[in-house]
Amino acid sequence: MAAIKAPMLIIQGDRDFVRLEHSVETVKLIPRAELAVVPDASHFALSSEPERVIPVIKRFLEKPEKELPLATANVGYHPGETR
C-alpha cells in the first residue's frame, strides 16, 4: 500500500462493520490517504445518505494539491504544473 501515490479518501460510518482501527491502520499505510468517518452511519452511507457523504467526497476532490511535482529532465519545467 505504501506504493500508492494517488490521494485516497477512505470513508466509513461510525456504525460500520469495518472496525475503525482497521481504517486508521490502512490510512497510515497509504502515504496520501485521508479518513472521513460519517457520524451515525453504516457501511452503506453513500447509498443510504448521499446528502451527507457526497459533500465530503466533493471537498476531497476539489482540494488543491499541497505540492507541485518536481521538474525533472524527463518531465521538464511547466509553470504552474511543476516546480
Reported as a single tens digit per residue, the pLDDT across 29-47 is: 999 999 999 999 999 999 9
Question: Does the pLDDT value for residue 67 go beyond 70?
Answer: no
Please give the share of the chain, as a percent, with pLDDT higher than 70.
Answer: 81
CA dist., res. 34 & res. 19, Å (int): 16
CA dist., res. 36 & res. 80, Å (int): 29
Q: How confident is the model at residue 12 (pLDDT cuts 50, 70, 90)?
A: very high
3-state secondary structure of 34: strand
* CA end-to-end span of the chain: 27
3-state secondary structure of 33: strand
